[in-house]
Amino acid sequence: MTGIRTHISPPGLLFAVLGLAALLVPFMTLAANRIVAGDGIVAWRIAGPEITAPGVAAVAMGLAMGLVAGRTRLRFLGAVLGLTGLLWLLSRSAPVLLSQGGEYARVSPAAGFWFLLVIFMLLMADALAALKPGPFMRGIILVAFLFVLVFIFRSGLLSDLSVLQEFSGRRDAFFTEFVRHLGLSFGSLAAAAVIGFPLGILCHHRAALRSATLPVLSFLQTIPSLAMFGLMIPILGWVGNTVPGAQAIGIAGIGFAPAFLALLLYSLLPVVGNTVAGLASTPPAALEAACGMGMTRGQRLLRIELPLGLPIILTGLRIVLVQNIGLAVIAGLIGGGGFGTFVFQGLNQTATDLILLGALPTVVLALAAAILMDIVVELTRQTPEEAA
């Protein structure tokens, strides 16, 4: 009995138990229209056995493959098989369910699908953590994942789902808000880098400035995000009404400007703080050797402190980027645009799929940005011999 236990992965066992429980929860929802809640249907009843049997079998087999300890590739393939089963059930059962509804009927993934999706993604992440792929391989996996995701949506396999029907009706608006979301997230990151890097360098060299600046930036982080966005409205509203030409360049109480400024203020502490920490991480022996070689302060900064502190500095940028992608959703509440526009429209209309139209791309964008920045940080930590 002891030998059997040693061949079972504890995380895999947990995922299997949770996955089997998720199969008992409604997998899809059939609603009369886009607003009403609809009726939940478990996985084995969403269509005939010719559709449900292969999908449920793939899900169960994927969970079973995740049980095996020490067979990391097998567990990874189990996650892929389980995700394929979920895709099969969604794509094949949606037309069947729609044929049973009225003219305005909508089908959506229910709690059972989302639970299983999270379980298989966690199983895949656990397997990848055990495989310990290098930065290059992780980049390939990320590109492959995004390629498959784009292929699935462009192929029309899931076009009968309600969230994609919301997308088809708002295609132009979606890409407009996508660009706006990128502008808020990456634009505020760039502005924080332009302001925060020099400020962090000054704080590193001047203790008085550091002791005055970091507490103020820490205080800004304690302000709740919704309150911060709200505070920007009267401030920039006054600027727009008072300063000549301010409204002509887009500064007003609502819109892009207050959202951008709020995100910028939230971004400064990670950038400045990590810049100070990165520069302070330089070994004293390295600085002494540089001084012995006759390097000036600027040369020590550019050749010693910045290269050695770069991983910590980039970690601050990673924090800011992922944080701002999520916080940019709130910009939709004050007219700043972005995916939050769909989220708050969906909340006002009690339309769950409209909420998902804004939430799901935000999650994918944040995950992709986090993985990409992790790869960049790891590459900067490698020695020249390791990078080769």
Looking at 165, 193, 213, which one is the last position of a domain?
165
Looking at per-residue pLDDT, the higher value among 4 and 360 belongs to 360
The model's pTM: 0.86
**b/e map 278-295, b = 16+ CB within 10 Å:** bbeebeeeeeeebeeeeb
**pLDDT at res. 71:** 86
**pLDDT at res. 2:** 45
Of the given ranges (47-51, 202-206, 233-237, 312-316), which has the lowest mean pLDDT? 233-237
**What percent of the chain lies above the pLDDT cut of 90?**
49
Span 104-117, average pLDDT: 91
Residue 226 has pLDDT above 90, yes or no: no
**pLDDT at res. 384:** 42
Q: Which band of pLDDT confidence, cut at 50, 70 and 90, is reported for residue 17?
A: very high
**pLDDT at res. 122:** 94
Q: How far apart are CA 372 and CA 182, in angstroms?
A: 15
Q: Is the dihedral of CA 240, 243, 248, 249 positive or negative?
A: negative
**pLDDT at res. 388:** 37
Residue 70 has pLDDT above 50, yes or no: yes
Pairing of strands 39-41, 106-109: unpaired
Q: How many Cα atoms within 13 Å fall on the side-chain side of residue 122? A: 15
| Cα 268 from chain centroid (whole Å) | 20
Domain that holds residue 365: 171-387
What's 250's DSSP letter? T
Q: Would you state the structure tokens that stand for residue 276, as one six-digit string?
A: 């100070």
Of the given ranges (117-121, 155-159, 185-189), which has the lowest mean pLDDT? 155-159
Residue 205 has pLDDT above 70, yes or no: yes
**Angle, helix 111-131 to helix 72-100, in steps of 10 degrees:** 160
Q: How far apart are CA 174 and CA 70, in angstroms?
A: 44
Nearest one of 223, 213, 278, 15 to 124, comparing CA atoms: 15
**Long-range contacts at 377-386 (CB < 8 A, ≥ 24 apart):** 377/311, 377/314, 377/315, 377/318, 378/135, 379/135, 380/310, 380/311, 380/314, 381/311
Q: How far apart are CA 32 and CA 185, in angstroms?
A: 37
Q: Would you state the structure tokens that stand for residue 307, as one six-digit string?
A: 């290269």
pLDDT per position as a tens digit, 334-387: 888 899 999 999 888 878 889 999 999 999 999 999 999 999 999 887 544 443
Q: How far apart are CA 348 and CA 343, in angstroms?
A: 9
**Angle, helix 207-222 to helix 171-205, in steps of 10 degrees:** 150
**pLDDT at res. 83:** 95
pLDDT per position as a tens digit, 295-305: 888 888 888 88
Identity of residue 379: L
What's 8's DSSP letter? B
Please check whether residues 199 and 329 belong to one and the same domain.
yes
**pLDDT at res. 387:** 39
Nearest one of 375, 363, 22 to 181, comparing CA atoms: 363
Looking at per-residue pLDDT, the higher value among 101 and 205 belongs to 205
Structural domains counted in the chain: 2
Q: How far apart are CA 115 and CA 22, in angstroms?
A: 6
Average pLDDT value over all residues in the chain: 87
Of the given ranges (23-32, 35-44, 75-84), which has the lowest mean pLDDT? 35-44
Residue 5 has pLDDT above 70, yes or no: no
pLDDT per position as a tens digit, 238-263: 777 777 776 766 677 777 888 898 89
Looking at per-residue pLDDT, the higher value among 85 and 226 belongs to 85
Looking at 117, 142, 165, which one is the last position of a domain?
165
Q: Which band of pLDDT confidence, cut at 50, 70 and 90, is reported for residue 123?
A: very high
Strand partners, 31: 106
Please check whether residues 211 and 355 belong to one and the same domain.
yes
Span 166-179, average pLDDT: 91
3-state secondary structure of 251: coil
Please check whether residues 134 and 222 belong to one and the same domain.
no
Q: How far apart are CA 386 and CA 335, in angstroms?
A: 48
Looking at 165, 190, 212, which one is the last position of a domain?
165
**pLDDT at res. 249:** 65
Span 305-327, average pLDDT: 92
Please check whether residues 364 and 221 belong to one and the same domain.
yes
Please check whether residues 175 and 220 belong to one and the same domain.
yes
Of the given ranges (145-149, 275-279, 300-304, 316-320), which has the lowest mean pLDDT? 300-304
Cα–Cα distance list, 355 to 15, 23, 28, 224, 258 (Å): 28, 24, 17, 22, 23
Please check whether residues 129 and 273 belong to one and the same domain.
no
Please check whether residues 115 and 89 belong to one and the same domain.
yes
Please check whether residues 150 and 185 belong to one and the same domain.
no
Nearest one of 127, 126, 138, 125 to 379, comparing CA atoms: 138
Q: How far apart are CA 24 and CA 42, in angstroms?
A: 6
Q: How far apart are CA 191 and CA 189, in angstroms?
A: 5
Please check whether residues 149 and 284 belong to one and the same domain.
no
Please check whether residues 63 and 154 belong to one and the same domain.
yes
* The residue count for the chain: 388
CATH of the domain at 236: 1.10.3720.10
Please check whether residues 85 and 67 belong to one and the same domain.
yes
**pLDDT at res. 250:** 67
Please check whether residues 183 and 330 belong to one and the same domain.
yes
The answer to whether the beta carbons of residues 282 and 302 sit under 8 Å apart is no
